[in-house]
Amino acid sequence: MLPQQIAIVKATIPVLQQYGETITATFYESLFEENPSLLNIFNPASQRNGNQARSLAASILAYAAHIDQLGQLGGMVDRIAHKHASLEVQAEHYPIVGKHLLQAIRTVLGEAATPEIIDAWAAAYGQLADIMIGVEKKLYTEGSTQPGGWAGFQPLVIERKVRESETITSFYLASPTGASLPSFRPGQYLAVKAHVPDAPFEQIRQYSLSQVSNGRTYRISVKRELAPEHLVAANNGLISNHLHAEVNEGDTLLAHVPQGDFVLKQSDKPVVLLSGGVGITPAICMLQELAEESARPVLFLHATRQRSHHAFREEMRTLVAAHDHMRAIVFYEKVSAPDMAGRDYDMIGRINADCLRANLPQQPADFYYCGPVGFTKAVEGVLDALNIPLAARYSESFAPDPSFATEIARA
């Protein structure tokens, strides 16, 4: 990019802050109107509630703010690239997206979108597209050439279907031929593709792998979301309800090789794992790895509504009891008569700064937290209160990321 183009892009940051979500909402509307086949890739629920538009606006804003220091975007680029790879986003999609993004900027800004601004943003988008295409190409190559790997989506057979709680069910997946499955890192996810009867498009969803890699099976654990009002509307919960109600042992699911950048970092520091609700799925996998391969201190905190919603209760308790370097604290919002403190739960309420402060390892630790958006925001508030540095925080929210603040600040 030319220096004057970089200056123009940085000068438009206040405009992006004011109109970014309007621009991205306009972008998605025109993109899907002209390219309805792309609805086979995007999650309609995130479109309907505005999460995807907010996430894209935040990404564009972060890119504009660091366009002269692209090295600081590493975390954001990696996270988006892994998600794109799990969706099979291809290089030929980028010119289509660029056309509609620039068109949306013109539409929303009107006469303020001068030719110079459009040219600068065209150059900025082209630069970002080249970066993303390069990173994603590497992920595709690694996925298809690793032992047991494949390109695109291939069928895996459901060997077992296990109810873990009132809302979460696990699916154990294996190769129909008995072939070995590619290894993965705890915290990564498996993208599955499904076509619900009467729905107009295929849908792809990412589900965290909840059991360490063993070369033979993958375990994904799926929370059943609120049922959609109309099946064909593809509201929230379309695929999770389909998996819970209509997919059974012996059936097959189309799956992508594992992706995701929310993984344990190489370190000797103690680890604090915090999970809320279904956020326990990557956390229990990380806990398994830390039990098997590390002696560094581990503090595991999990918050859930009540015992009926508590997935992996026995699995977690057994794992922690067998390893002296591990401790666990479970929070229930509600306690019923049969629930026993120390067996089912440890504290009533939500994870808070006082409890975390009293149980932290003596040495500086790394913090990994995962769950719904509200949970991750609450944890960030707790970590702020404890003055935990951003460089020691790693998170994943089960929704499009609305800020990317942690990744940018850490870099």
CATH number for the domain including 305?
Answer: 3.40.50.80
pLDDT at 403: 45
134 and 8: one domain?
yes
User: How many domains does the structure of the chain reveal?
Assistant: 3
Please tell me which residue in 63, 94, 125, 369 is annotated as part of the active site: 94
126 and 43: one domain?
yes
Is residue 251 packed enough to be buried (19+ CB in 10 Å), middle (13-18) or exposed (0-12)? middle
Which residue among 255, 280, 314 closes a domain? 255
**Residue 262 forms part of a structural domain:** no
Active site (annotated) includes residue 293 = no
In 3D space, the residue among 133, 83, 112 whose CA is nearest the CA of residue 22 turns out to be 112
163 and 111: one domain?
no
pLDDT at 227: 55
Please tell me which residue in 19, 88, 125, 136 is annotated as part of the active site: 136
Whole-prediction pTM: 0.90
Enclosing domain of residue 342? 271-410
Please list the ranges in the chain whose pLDDT falls under 50.
228-234, 402-411
Compute the radius of gyration of the chain from its Cα atoms: 22
72 and 202: one domain?
no
18 and 76: one domain?
yes
- Reported as type and span, the H/E element at residue 378 is helix 373-385
319 and 351: one domain?
yes
pLDDT at 56: 83
Indicate the length of the chain as a whole number. Answer: 411
Q: For residue 217, what are its two tokens?
A: 């099976």
DSSP letter string, 39-108: GGTS-HHHHHTSHHHHHHHHHHHHHHHTTT-GGGGHHHHHHHHHHHHHHT--TTHHHHHHHHHHHHHHHH
Contact 302, 275 (CB under 8 A): yes
pLDDT at 398: 64
Q: For residue 128, what are its two tokens?
A: 């970002």
**Residue 45 forms part of a structural domain:** yes
Q: For residue 212, what are its two tokens?
A: 């360490």
**Residue 17 forms part of a structural domain:** yes
- Reported as type and span, the H/E element at residue 349 is none
CA distance 218 to 211: 7
pLDDT at 410: 43
138 and 189: one domain?
no
Q: For residue 357, what are its two tokens?
A: 């402060």
Q: What is the b/e burial string over 130-167, where b = at least 16 CB atoms within 10 angstroms of the residue's CB? A: eebbebbeebbeebeeeeebbeebeebbbeebeebbeb
pLDDT at 226: 74
